[in-house]
Structure 1
C-alpha cells in the first residue's frame, strides 16, 4: 500500500461514473454521518482501489465492492492522512467492468471553512449553526470518499437525512422529493449532470429568499439571512441579467434548471458550485441605505465572476490544477466584460488596469511562478489561487483578445465551449480553438506567457529617426532575468489616430519612424500625414490602454514629453495610469530615480479620474512608508479597493528625518484640487466613480495627517454616534471617517477607538463591520494596534475577517505586528490551518518590513516553525522585504529629494 503515498495524482485503474451520497448532518453536535455508493468502472487488473478521504472515520466493516452478484470485502483499509488518500486492498484481483463501491463514514462539521463545515448565525437572539460545503480545490474528500480531482467527472445523487424541518436544505440540483417526519425531513435531490467533485455543494440553514427567472425559465433565487431579503434584490436582478448575457456571449444556454446564490456568515470570498453559488455576505448583499458604491461594484464583479464559471469551469473544466488559470483568469476577464455591458457608466475597463497591476506586482518577484505551474501534492494547490492565476491570467486573455479582435475571440470561445462541454481541457485546447478561427499562431505566441514566469520591460528610445525597442525580464529587485517573450506591441504617436501594432519577437528591434508611423521626429516634434489636422506629434505612448502585460521604460526625452500630455489630459485614463504604475515599479527596482518619479507625480495635480487617483494614492502611501522603513509589501490590491489605510510612517533609523513634514505637505498638496472638487457631500446625479473616489481622497488626506480633514471627520463621527440615521455620514465616506478618527487615538485618549468598537458591536451589516475592522489598526499608537490585533483573534471577529484587520496596520505598528504574529503563531496556524487566510497573515505582516535584519529574523522564526502550506507565500514575502530594504537605501542616497519635495509641496500655479 506504500506505493500510493506521496503521489500527486490518483492511479487510473478505476473510473467513477456515478455517486449516490446520503448525509445526516447534526447541527447541534457538529458532526455528520454518511454513506456513499459509487458506480465504478475497473479498467485494468488491480487488487487495490485508491481514492481520496481526509478527516473522515471510515467504517471498515461497511466497505465493499460488488460486481454482478459477487461481493468483494477489502482485507485492509487505510487512510494516509498527509495525502488525503484512502487505500482499499483486496485479497484477489477485481474483475474488469462496472461495479459498485460502498463506504460508510463519519466526520466533523469543522470550523475551518473548508470541507463540510459549520457557520454560525443569530436568530431571535440565539446563536445557531448551519452546515455548508466548500470543496474547492481538494476538500470534497473531507465530506465523502471520492476521486477528488477535476478530471474524474461523474453524476451525483444526493440525499440529506434528519434535517430539521424548519431549515432550508439546498444542493446543486432542485429538490426531487421531500418527506417530513415530525420535526425532521429527508430531502432527495434530482441527479446532477456530469461534474467534478469540487463543485458539489450542500447548504443547510435558516434563510429567507427572493426569486426571479430568466427568459428561458431558469429559476434564480438569492438566499439571505432572515429579515434581510431586500438586501438580495440587486444581486438577484444582476444574476438574471448576467445569465442572459453569458447565454448570448457563449452561444450556449445555462445548463441547469435552477441557480441559487446563498449568503453565508462564515465564508471566504465566493465559490462557483454548479447551481448553488455560495458567497460571504458582503460579496452578495447590498443595502441601498448603508452600502457604499464600491461595495455595489464588488457585488457585481463577484456575481459575474462566479456565474461565468457555470460555463468556463463547471461545464468545461480544467483537467488538473496546473490549468487553474483557465478557470480563474478567464472568469476574472469575462466578469469585466459582463459588468461593462450591464453598467457601462462604471467604466470598469478603465479599472481593469488594477487587475493587471496586481498581476505585474506579484510576477515581478523572483519567487513568482508560471501561470501553468506543476502541482506535486494536494497541499500545494491553495497557494496558486493568487494574482498569477487570476490577475495575470485575466490580463493575458485581454491582451490576446485585443490582438485577435473581439468578434474573432467570441466566436472562438463559443466553439471551444460547445466542443468541450461536460469534459476536461488543457490550455492547449483553448489555443487550438482560437487558432482555428483566427488563423494566428496563438499557441506559439501564448506559450511564452503561460509556461514561463515573469514578463518583460520594454525599453523605448529614439535614435537617428528610428524607434529602438529592447526587451528584458523585469524583476522588482532590479535583477536581470533571461526570459524572452513574443510581445504584442501597440503604440501611438502624438494622437490616438496614429496608432500601430506589431509583434516584438526578438530581444531588440528597430523601426524606421517615418516608414512605420508616417511621420518624423524633430526637435520640436514630428508632423504626421495621417494625423488629423496635420497636428504636431511630439510624444509616443507604447502599450495603448495598457492591454499588454508588460512594463515600458522610456528615454528621458520621451518621458518628459509624456508628462506634458498627462497634464493636458491628452492621454486616456488607462494610459495615464499605466505611465504612473510603470514609473513607480521602475523606481522601486532602482531603474529610475525617485526624484524622477516625484517630478512625474506633479503632472497629476489636477487629476480627477478614479482609477488614476487610486493608483496615485497607492504610490504616495508606499513612498511615504518607504522613507519610514515600513515600506510597501501589502498588495496594492488592498489599496485600490479601499482596504488599506496607513498613517504616514515616522522616518526611522535616522533616514532623512528632516523630510517628514515635506513629505506630508507635498502629498496633501497634490490632493487639494480633487478634494475641493469632490467635497464632503454627495452631489445630485454624481457618477458612481465620483462616489467611490470621494472616500479614497478623504482617506488619503487623513492618512497624511491633514488636520482640516481629521477635524471634519471627527465632527461628523460625533454626530453619527448621536444619530445613526444622520445624513452627514453616508456609506461612501464612512471608512475615511473611521480612519481619521483613529489617527488621534492613543492609550491616553481612547474615546475614538472605544466608540468605533461600540459601532462595530452594534452593526448588523457585514459590510459595516468590515469597514471598521479595516480601520482600527491604522492608529499610530502601537499599544492600541496590539489591542486591535488581539481583537482579531477573538470570537468577536469572524474567521474570514481577521486578515482584513491586518491590511490597515500603521507604520508605527509594523514591529508590533511582527512580534504579535510570532507570539500567536501556534494559535493562528491551529485556527486557520492551511490555505488563503493563513498565507494572508504572513504576507500582510512580513511584506511591509524593510530591513535585512528583519529578513533574518523572519527566516529564523519559520525555520523553527515550518509550515509547508505557506512555503511559496513566505518566500515571496521575504523577497519583498529584501526589495524594500534595497529601495530604502537607494532613496536615502538621492541628494535632490528635498528640493523636489519643496517644489511639490509649495508649488504655486
Structure 2
C-alpha cells in the first residue's frame, strides 16, 4: 500500500499494526489548546522529509524525521499538523547520546487548533533528539497545503502536485513547527513518476530511477521557515539563464509555453544582480526556479529558491499579452525576488510583522522595476499603491500595520492593502525623509545583522536610527502601531500658513489619532521648498520668512506633500484650492502632485468634507491631462461618482456621463485605436483604459467601433484590428450592448474564452462579462463562475457587476453562500466574494440586510472584511444623501456636460 511502501524505506520504521487512529484527548492536554503560539519545550533544528504523491488517487504518504533541541523539562512535544492521518505506530523520539527510543503514551491530533500533542510516560532529556512521524494526506483542491493543480497535455487532463504553505499550511503537508521564528534546515526526498519534473527549494543531488518511479534527493537547505518550503511535481518545459556569479535561473511552465517565460527570465536575472548590489549581499542559494502554476490562489509565492506564480504573473506572450500584463510580470517577479532577502534570509518573527515582508517587497519591487524600465515612470504609478492603502486605512474597521494575531485563521485577512500598500508607502515616506543613500546603507546593515535569523519592526527602526542619527523609532511608531492616517488642513491667515492635523475617516467623522508627519511643501515653484515635522495638532509657518521674496505670497500656489511622498491627505482652504486649479490648468505641477490633489479632493468629497460640485470643477481642470497614472485615477474616480449620482439623482446621470466623455475624448482621439510605431509603454496601456471608460459611459462612436473590431477578431484571432491592449475595451463595449434579447456578443465572448489557453485572455474576458446592464445576463455570468469551466482561482475576476446587477449579485451570493464558503472558505479568496458584491451598495437598509444574513454565517477568515464592507455601504449611503441635498449641483453638472473641451 502507498503508506506502507514509503514507511518501509525508513530503517527504524515500526511494524504497522496500530492503524491510523489517534487516542482521545486528555484533560492535562487542554493547556495546549486555543493558544496562538506553540510552546517552546522543544525547537526544531533540521527536518528530513520524504513525500510520495499519488497524482492519480490525489493522495500522498510521508515520513518526517526532525532533529529537536529539547530545551526544557517536559513530557510533551507539541507541533502543528492539520488534515493529516498520523500513524501512531510510526511515532517515536530517540534521545541522542544514550540512543534511547521513547514511544508516546498518548497522541492527540487537535483539528480545531491544528496541533499534534505527543505525551510521553517519562520526562524527555534536555538536549538533541530525533522525532519520527509517518503520515498520509490528500492532495486537496483548495490551493493550500500540498494540493493538486490540473492541466491539459495532448488533449488529456492531468494533475500536478504543488505546495503553498504561506501563511500556515506546511502543517497540511507534514507535521512541523509551523511558525516563522522556528527556522530549521530541510532535506527533502521525493518519490514520483519517472517521467515528471520534480522541484524543491534546493538543487538535486541524486536521482534514482526504478521503473515507473524515481527517487529524487535534494541538497539540504539553509535555515528557513516552514512556510518557505516548496515542492512542485508535474510536466514542464523550461528556459534557462545564469547570473554573472553563476546562479542558475530557470522559468518552468506548461509544455509548449516556454517562449512565454523568456521575459520573466530576463527580468529575474537582472533583478538578482540589482538586489545583490542594493542589499550588499549576493543571493544565497545556488539556483532559482520560477514556476507557472495553472491553479494558484495568490499572485505568486516567494518560496526560497522555488518561486511559484499564477500563469498571468509569470508568462508573457508577445502576440496576445497586453502592455499591462508585461508590467505586471516585471513587478511581481521583482517583488518575489526581493523576498529572497527581505523575508527568506531575514524573516519576520511572527505574523504581526508581516508588513516587514510585504511592505518592503512591494516598495523594493518598484525600485527594481524603475531601474530596469525607467521609461515606465513606475514611481508615478506607485501612487496607485498608496491610494489603495489610503482608501482601506480610511475605514474605522482598518487595522494597524503591526496587528495582533491570535489565531492562524486570522492571518489570511491581513494580506491586504495595509500590509502591502500602506507598508510600502510608509517605507517610501521614510526613505524620502532620511535620504536614499543613508537609507540603503542602513538597510544593508540590517540584512547583514539578521541574516538567517528573525527580526521585528523595532530591529529595523534601530538599524535605520543608527545609520541616520534620526529618531526613526519615535517617528515611525505613530505610523505602524496605530491604524489610520491624518488629514493635514492648511490655510493662509495673517501672512502665516496654519497647519492642523486630524485623523481622516471616509465616514466623515474624526478619529483621535495623532502622527509625527513629515511635511514637505513648495510655493509657486519647485525651487521654493520647505520641510519640517508636524509633531502637534497645529503649527504655523511665517510665509514671508519662508518665501524670502522669491514669489508673490498673495497669488502663488502652495502644494503640500510634494510628489505625494507622505501617507496623508491634504485639505486646502478655498483660496489655496483655487490657486492649485489654476496651477493644474497651466501645467505648473508634476504628474505626482496633480494625482495627489485629485485623489485628496475625491476622498474629502466622499467623506462629505467637500461638495461634489467643487470636485467636479477640479476635475474639469484635467481636460488636457496626458499622464497615464493621473488619467487612470480620473477614470476610476469618474466611475465611482457615476454610481453615486445614479443612486442619488438619477436624472443627472446622462449629463454626468456626457461630462466624463468630454473629459476623456480628446486624450482617446490623440491615441486613436491603432498602436503607433515606437509609441511608449504608457500610451499602450492608456489607450485601452480610455476606450474602456468611453464604452462604459456609453460613447456611441466607441461602442460601434469596438463592435466592428470585435467582429473582425471573431473571424481572425490574429487581426491587427484588435491588439491585446484594447481587447478589454472591446469586450466591455460588447457587453454594454448585451441583453436577454440580444445575446450574440455574450455568446461570442464565451466562445473566445473556451478556445483560448492563455490565462491572461481568460481573465480579461471574465472581468468584462459581468458588466452587462441586464440583470438576467449578470445572473448567467455569476453562475458560469461556479462552473467547471472557470478555475477556482479565477472566479473572483467576474464579480465586478454593473450597478444594475447589484441586487442580482447579492441574491446569488446568498443563494450560493454554502457552496462558495465550502469551495473558497479555506483561503483569502473568500473575502473577494464578500467585498466585491457587498461594498458597492449605498443604502442603510442594505447594510442591515447584510448584517442580518451574516449574523450566523461569519467566521474569523471573513470577519474583518465583512465589517469593512458594511462600513463602505454606510459611507456610500451617507454620500448619496449628501449629494441628494447639494445645492447648485444640477446647474454645475449641466454646465460641465455642455462645455466644449
- Normalising by structure 2, we get a TM-score of 0.96
Q: CA deviation at 1:834?
A: 2.9
Q: CA deviation at 1:520?
A: 8.2
**Residue in structure 2 matched with residue 197 of structure 1 by the alignment:** 226
Instruction: Give yes or no for the alignment of 1:823 onto 2:841.
Output: no
Cα deviation, 1:842-889, whole Å, max 9, x if unaligned, reads 000000011011111110011122322100000000000000000000
Instruction: Give yes or no for the alignment of 1:610 onto 2:628.
Output: yes
The equivalences for 1:70-89 within 5 A come to: 70-89=100-119
Q: CA deviation at 1:660?
A: 2.1
**Residue in structure 2 matched with residue 785 of structure 1 by the alignment:** 778
Instruction: Give yes or no for the alignment of 1:348 onto 2:378.
Output: yes
Aligned mates of 1:522, 1:224 — CA distance in 2:
62
**Residue in structure 2 matched with residue 529 of structure 1 by the alignment:** none
Aligned mates of 1:229, 1:342 — CA distance in 2:
22
Aligned mates of 2:209, 2:585 — CA distance in 1:
70
**Residue in structure 2 matched with residue 750 of structure 1 by the alignment:** 743
Cα deviation, 1:598-621, whole Å, max 9, x if unaligned, reads 000000011111000010001100
Instruction: Give yes or no for the alignment of 1:206 onto 2:235.
Output: yes
Aligned mates of 1:167, 1:518 — CA distance in 2:
73
Q: CA deviation at 1:835?
A: 2.5
Instruction: Give yes or no for the alignment of 1:697 onto 2:690.
Output: yes
Q: Which of 506, 519, 540 in structure 2 is aligned with 1:510? A: 540
Instruction: Give yes or no for the alignment of 1:105 onto 2:123.
Output: no
Aligned mates of 1:355, 1:834 — CA distance in 2:
27
Structure 2 residue matching 1:746: 3-state secondary structure: coil
Q: CA deviation at 1:83?
A: 1.2
Q: Which of 575, 582, 595 in structure 1 is aligned with 2:593? A: 575
Instruction: Give yes or no for the alignment of 1:848 onto 2:840.
Output: yes
**Residue in structure 2 matched with residue 466 of structure 1 by the alignment:** 496
Cα deviation, 1:62-88, whole Å, max 9, x if unaligned, reads 111100311111111111111111101
**Residue in structure 2 matched with residue 251 of structure 1 by the alignment:** 280
Q: CA deviation at 1:656?
A: 2.1
8 A Cα contact 1:500 1:517, kept in partner: no
Q: Which of 155, 172, 180 in structure 1 is aligned with 2:201? A: 172
Aligned mates of 2:836, 2:143 — CA distance in 1:
20
The equivalences for 1:357-436 within 5 A come to: 357-436=387-466
Structure 2 residue matching 1:604: 3-state secondary structure: coil
8 A Cα contact 2:645 2:652, kept in partner: no
**Residue in structure 1 matched with residue 320 of structure 2 by the alignment:** 290
**Residue in structure 1 matched with residue 19 of structure 2 by the alignment:** none
**Residue in structure 2 matched with residue 877 of structure 1 by the alignment:** 869
8 A Cα contact 1:513 1:519, kept in partner: no
Q: CA deviation at 1:475?
A: 0.2
**Residue in structure 2 matched with residue 767 of structure 1 by the alignment:** 760
Instruction: Give yes or no for the alignment of 1:220 onto 2:249.
Output: yes
Aligned mates of 2:566, 2:644 — CA distance in 1:
28
Q: Which of 252, 267, 281 in structure 2 is aligned with 1:238? A: 267
Q: CA deviation at 1:514?
A: 1.4
| Alpha carbons of structure 1 residues 470 and 571: separation in structure 2 relative to 1, 3 Å | same
Number of matched residues? 870
Q: CA deviation at 1:902?
A: 1.6
**Residue in structure 1 matched with residue 158 of structure 2 by the alignment:** 128
Structure 2 residue matching 1:407: 3-state secondary structure: helix
Q: Which of 278, 300, 303 in structure 2 is aligned with 1:273? A: 303
Aligned mates of 2:361, 2:573 — CA distance in 1:
37
Aligned mates of 1:178, 1:833 — CA distance in 2:
38
8 A Cα contact 1:513 1:520, kept in partner: no
**Residue in structure 1 matched with residue 6 of structure 2 by the alignment:** none
**Structure 1, unaligned stretches of length 5 or more?**
526-537, 630-654
Aligned mates of 2:843, 2:777 — CA distance in 1:
24
Instruction: Give yes or no for the alignment of 1:482 onto 2:512.
Output: yes
Cα deviation, 1:252-287, whole Å, max 9, x if unaligned, reads 000000000000000021000000000000100000
Instruction: Give yes or no for the alignment of 1:455 onto 2:485.
Output: yes
**Residue in structure 2 matched with residue 22 of structure 1 by the alignment:** 50
8 A Cα contact 1:476 1:589, kept in partner: yes
Cα deviation, 1:488-520, whole Å, max 9, x if unaligned, reads 000000000111100000000001111123248
**Residue in structure 2 matched with residue 892 of structure 1 by the alignment:** 884
Cα deviation, 1:697-717, whole Å, max 9, x if unaligned, reads 000000001110000000000
Instruction: Give yes or no for the alignment of 1:836 onto 2:832.
Output: no
8 A Cα contact 1:514 1:520, kept in partner: no
CA RMSD of aligned residues (A): 0.9
Aligned mates of 2:854, 2:551 — CA distance in 1:
56
Aligned mates of 1:579, 1:116 — CA distance in 2:
47
Structure 2 residue matching 1:22: 3-state secondary structure: strand
**Structure 2, unaligned stretches of length 5 or more?**
1-28
**Residue in structure 2 matched with residue 638 of structure 1 by the alignment:** none
Q: CA deviation at 1:412?
A: 0.5
8 A Cα contact 1:465 1:521, kept in partner: no
Cα deviation, 1:68-112, whole Å, max 9, x if unaligned, reads 311111111111111111101111111110000000000000000
8 A Cα contact 1:259 1:276, kept in partner: yes
Aligned mates of 1:192, 1:152 — CA distance in 2:
14
8 A Cα contact 2:524 2:551, kept in partner: no
Q: CA deviation at 1:657?
A: 2.9
Q: CA deviation at 1:522?
A: 5.9
Instruction: Give yes or no for the alignment of 1:331 onto 2:324.
Output: no
